[in-house]
Amino acid sequence: MNWTFSIPAILIFILLFSFSILSFAYFLRLTLGFRKLESKESRNTYFPNLPTEDELDLFFSPLERIALWFPTIASLSMLLGLLGTVIGISTAFGEMEAQGKVSLEVLAHGIKDALNTTIAGLLVAIPSLFFHRVIENKIRYISELIIKDHSKIQ
């Protein structure tokens, strides 16, 4: 298999790789923080009394701000994949026009770039959306645990 790519495709791959590292790092950071909050002793340290809704919002606000990066990363990744597709198809048609003929050899490089950047964009976007859903549910779960800790019904 030929592993050569055009310069725009390589730049898109580099951006997508950095997005994937960023997304995974945020997910790991939040997940490890939530593991600490799953213990009742830790929650009671932060909230010795029943918190108000404003106190809970203030506590979870930084976590929710970080969690909002996941859909942003997913959207940017999909758009970068689409940009790679457009650039690859444009390259394929440009080569076809320059050579004045239509053949598989002429179109193959541009179409390969188009498909590979699309695949890479989706491989970053899908886990980012999954990470967002997991973190969103974890925030809801931890806030319910905090309320339940101070509730009469357990």
1 domain-assigned: no
Q: Crossing angle of helices 69-99/7-37, nearest 10°?
A: 170
Number of domains in the chain: 1
Structural domain for 12, as ranges: 7-149
Residue at 64 is within a domain = yes
Q: What percent of the chain has pLDDT over 70?
A: 97
* Residue 62 counted as domain residue: yes
Q: Give pTM, 2 decimals.
A: 0.88
* Alpha-carbon span 72 to 131, nearest angstrom: 12
pLDDT digits (tens, 9 = 90+) for 54-96: 999 999 999 999 999 999 999 999 999 999 999 999 999 999 9
The 3-class secondary structure across 59-99, one letter per residue, is: HHHHHHHHHCHHHHHHHHHHHHHHHHHHHHHHHHHHHHHHH
